Structure 1
Amino acid sequence: MARQSLSATVDMVKYLAKNKVKGVKRYPMVLMLEPTEICNLTCTGCGKIRQSEEVLKLRLTAEDCFKAIEECGAPAVSIAGGEPLVHPEIVDIVNGMLARRKLVMLCTNGILLHRVLDKLKPHPNFTFVFHLDGKREHHDRMVERAGVFDIVIKGIKAAKERGFRVATNTTLYKGASAKDTAELLQELMDLGVDNCIVSPAFTYEEVDSAHSDIFLHRKEVNQLVSEILEHAGDKIRFYDTPIYFDFLTGKKDLRCTPWAMPNRNPKGWKGPCYLLTDDHYDSFQEMMEKTNWDEFGYGENPRCASCMMHSGYEMSAVKAVSPADTWKLVRWFFAS
């Protein structure tokens, strides 16, 4: 939630304060919007692409997307997929969200960036988020296509040259090198990337058994992230909060808040969360009311046993801020 325009930051703070004053226990912070689940890559660890052709043929219209953000009321939207740049209305979707004063993050693998780079305009509330899992060899292996790393780097440079805010999202898998990951993050800072997101992968059941050993368990996440931070030093501008990193490194215990980042995809409102699919609902309210939230999270559901993804825990980190954490957040927010 950091390093956006001042007006957007004020809107986020007001939103948090309003819900706290009203005593609202569960409310969304970021709409995880998937206007299409079609993708032009077959990433090894992705469960999204392993769905029926019937689902992959569906897509949300721009008006469906606007209805979704208005229905849930979240102050921010992460437009993902699939690959959202394959969607014919993606420019209209982005501009419509910005017109509604939303923080907008457009997640992409970078391959189709040329379709929108001259059609979108830089905006303080808009960020391109490039998927980049590691250095060249590691990233190209995980996305199962040679040359994609170089395409991403070229895209980052092109976006920065045009004045866009740029972030990267690095998903951690077993076998990732802490040293190489830290070096990548440092290189991204040198390219002018505004923020880096780091998060362990989710153990998708849909990933076939031949690749199921790529997912990290909690203790492995603690070790890997600790080593990455040690190698990276203090020069990386992370999008993740320091409280979330305390969780990833095993210094703080958090309870998952799956309702904070609800998912709207072409089949409806996906419950219980962005990662698990037990049902799809016709409305956001129906999803909130019919989901037994106490059944999910570490220690409650075996499917959640290894999950430490930011989609479930970044809001938990914000809600868990103690007086001792305040200065950590201040330093994080104003880091240059």
Structure 2
Amino acid sequence: MARQSFSATVDMVKYLAKNRVKGIKRYPMVLMLEPTELCNLTCTGCGKIRQSPDVLKMRMTAEDCFKAIDECGAPAVSIAGGEPLVHPEIVEIVNGMLERRKLVMLCTNGILLHRVLDKLKPHPNFTFVFHLDGKREHHDKMVERKGVFDIVMKGIKAAKERGFRVATNTTLYKGASAQDTAELLLELMDMGVDNCIVSPAFTYEEVDPSNSDIFLHRKEVHQLVQDIMARCGDRIRFYDTPIYFDFLQGKRELRCTPWAMPNRNPKGWKGPCYLLTDEHYDTFQEMMEKTNWDEFGYGENPRCASCMMHSGYEMAALKALTPSDTWRLVRWFFAS
């Protein structure tokens, strides 16, 4: 849950309460929308851009995007890819989602920010989410292009100067320094960044096997996140919930909820989740009904063995709330 406008927060609480009262076990919280898989970077740990040229050429229209959010009914949408700013209708897509009273997060590597910065308007329900995996040397290494870190930092400053909400998304890989990561997060706070997202990388099957040693195992994630948190203390306004950080640090177990952040891309509704691709479906309902959800998650599927991504576990964190967690969540919400 993103800490944004009060009215949007009320809408999300109502949505959660309505599904709980109805006894609905599985429902989406955030639509992971990928209007295009095309990207202007070849990040080492990304499986999205290692698809066939035919898939990379495909894209959803703005109307396809609106149909997807209306179909699944999620109160929030994360527009990703690929790089969504290469899409010719991206401004129309963002504005259409805001008109539907959705929380909107636009994920970007920052390179093409100039295309939309003067076309989009600041809105309490809209957030730019900049991909930033670490300090200059580490980030540029992971995105396989020098100079991108500096582009991102300039983009963050430009967006904040224009009054936009800004978050950053840091993916943790082997080789990431806890000290450097903590220093980066603290620097981002000093720059006025609203929230930081931190999540370990997923072991995409499409990634070149020669690069498979970049992915962290669960115990390595526990230690790295513990070290980062020890250096940051409570000085970071995290986008992720404190319950999710308990999970990342090995302090509690959570059961993956892959349906909570369903993926819609140019090929259809991707099942079983945002990260694994077994099949594409024509409708959201078909994907929900035909997926055997009990077959996925840690301990159930070998492909899920190292996954601790927020796309699978943030909803699990909300479902695992205890009375003491509720007060922690309230403090987390008002911290920003």
TM norm. shorter chain > 0.5: yes
Cα deviations by residue, 1:71-97 (Å, 9 ceiling, x for unpaired): 000000000000000000000000000
Please report how far the alpha carbon of residue 333 of structure 1 lies from its aligned counterpart in structure 2 after TM superposition.
0.6
Alignment of 1:299-314 (within 5 A): 299-314=299-314
Q: Which residue is 1:104 aligned to? A: 104
Separation in 1 of the partners of 2:97 and 2:143? Answer: 29
Does residue 3 (structure 1) correspond to residue 9 (structure 2)? The answer is: no
Q: Which residue is 1:225 aligned to? A: 225
Alignment of 1:101-140 (within 5 A): 101-140=101-140
What SS does structure 1 have at the residue aligned with 2:48?
A: coil
Does residue 34 (structure 1) correspond to residue 23 (structure 2)? The answer is: no
Which amino acid in the other structure matches residue 88 of structure 2? P
Cα deviations by residue, 1:35-89 (Å, 9 ceiling, x for unpaired): 0000000000000000000100100000000000000000000000000000000
Separation in 1 of the partners of 2:190 and 2:3? Answer: 18
**Structure 2, gaps ≥5 residues long:** none
Please report how far the alpha carbon of residue 309 of structure 1 lies from its aligned counterpart in structure 2 after TM superposition.
0.1
What SS does structure 1 have at the residue aligned with 2:134?
A: coil
Please report how far the alpha carbon of residue 2 of structure 1 lies from its aligned counterpart in structure 2 after TM superposition.
3.3
Alignment of 1:243-322 (within 5 A): 243-322=243-322
Q: Which runs of 4+ in 1 moved over 4 A?
A: none
Which amino acid in the other structure matches residue 130 of structure 1? F
Q: Which residue is 1:84 aligned to? A: 84
Which amino acid in the other structure matches residue 297 of structure 1? G
CA RMSD of aligned residues (A): 0.5
What SS does structure 2 have at the residue aligned with 1:49?
A: helix
Q: Which residue is 1:329 aligned to? A: 329
Cα deviations by residue, 1:77-125 (Å, 9 ceiling, x for unpaired): 0000000000000000000000000000000000000000000000000
Separation in 2 of the partners of 1:222 and 1:127? Answer: 28
Alignment of 1:79-228 (within 5 A): 79-228=79-228
Which amino acid in the other structure matches residue 257 of structure 2? T
**Structure 1, gaps ≥5 residues long:** none
Please report how far the alpha carbon of residue 164 of structure 1 lies from its aligned counterpart in structure 2 after TM superposition.
0.1
Separation in 2 of the partners of 1:285 and 1:243? Answer: 29
Separation in 2 of the partners of 1:144 and 1:290? Answer: 38
Separation in 2 of the partners of 1:2 and 1:98? Answer: 15
Separation in 1 of the partners of 2:232 and 2:132? Answer: 16
Cα deviations by residue, 1:115-163 (Å, 9 ceiling, x for unpaired): 0000000000000000000000000000000000000000000000000
Q: Which residue is 1:55 aligned to? A: 55
Separation in 2 of the partners of 1:2 and 1:69? Answer: 18
Which amino acid in the other structure matches residue 5 of structure 2? S
Which amino acid in the other structure matches residue 61 of structure 2? T
Separation in 1 of the partners of 2:194 and 2:211? Answer: 32
Which amino acid in the other structure matches residue 279 of structure 1? E
Separation in 1 of the partners of 2:216 and 2:185? Answer: 20
Cα deviations by residue, 1:268-316 (Å, 9 ceiling, x for unpaired): 0000000000000000000000000000000000000000000000000
Separation in 2 of the partners of 1:297 and 1:43? Answer: 25
TM-score, normalised to structure 2, is: 1.00
Separation in 2 of the partners of 1:212 and 1:206? Answer: 10
Please report how far the alpha carbon of residue 331 of structure 1 lies from its aligned counterpart in structure 2 after TM superposition.
1.1
Separation in 1 of the partners of 2:54 and 2:285? Answer: 26
Separation in 2 of the partners of 1:258 and 1:317? Answer: 13
Please report how far the alpha carbon of residue 210 of structure 1 lies from its aligned counterpart in structure 2 after TM superposition.
1.1
Separation in 2 of the partners of 1:265 and 1:2? Answer: 23
TM-score, normalised to structure 1, is: 1.00
Separation in 2 of the partners of 1:57 and 1:162? Answer: 33
Which amino acid in the other structure matches residue 335 of structure 2? A
Separation in 1 of the partners of 2:14 and 2:23? Answer: 14
Which amino acid in the other structure matches residue 8 of structure 2? A
Percent of aligned pairs sharing the same letter: 88
What SS does structure 1 have at the residue aligned with 2:166?
A: strand
Separation in 1 of the partners of 2:235 and 2:297? Answer: 33
Q: Which residue is 1:239 aligned to? A: 239
Separation in 1 of the partners of 2:117 and 2:331? Answer: 33
